[in-house]
């Protein structure tokens, strides 16, 4: 299901949902090119739902996922000033 991540921690995530999932169902969260994170839908309230992760996320995974969720994420490589001639 398509959803919007509202809050995320090492143990779970709060989601804004656009289609109603089944409560107490297995689920997986996929953010960008990260591997899927297995979990379970633990609550639903209107257009919000909570998912508990099957395993606690380690700090480096949580940091990477949070960075990919922020709208103004920084580029992975630094900018470098270059003077060069080009033909197009």
Q: Is the pLDDT of residue 74 over 80?
A: no
> Can you give the pLDDT at residue 87?
86
* Number of Cβ within a 10 Å radius of residue 73: 11
Which residue has better confidence, 43 or 74?
Answer: 43
> Can you give the pLDDT at residue 68?
86
> Can you give the pLDDT at residue 18?
92
CA 51 to chain centre: 12
Measured distance CA(31)–CA(81) in Å, rounded:
32
Which two structure tokens, joined as six digits, stand for 39?
């979990």
Whether the Cβ atoms of residue 36 and residue 53 lie closer than 8 Å to each other: no
The pLDDT > 90 percentage for the chain reads 57
Which two structure tokens, joined as six digits, stand for 28?
């997986």
pLDDT digits (tens, 9 = 90+) for 9-43: 999 999 999 998 899 999 999 988 889 999 999 99
Mean pLDDT for the chain overall: 88
> What is the DSSP code string of 47-74?
TEEEEEESSPPPHHHHHHHHHHHSTTPP
> Can you give the pLDDT at residue 39?
96
Task: Sort strands 12-17 and 48-53 into parallel, antiparallel or unpaired.
Answer: antiparallel
């Amino acid at each position: 299901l398509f959803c919007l991540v509202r809050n995320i921690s090492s143990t779970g995530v709060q989601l804004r949902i656009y289609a109603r999932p089944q409560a107490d169902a297995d689920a997986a969260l996929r953010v960008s090119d990260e591997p899927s994170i297995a979990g379970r839908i633990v609550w639903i309230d209107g257009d919000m739902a909570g998912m508990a992760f099957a395993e606690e996320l380690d700090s480096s995974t949580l940091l990477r996922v949070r960075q990919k969720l922020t709208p103004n994420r920084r580029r992975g490589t630094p900018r470098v000033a270059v003077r060069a001639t080009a033909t197009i």
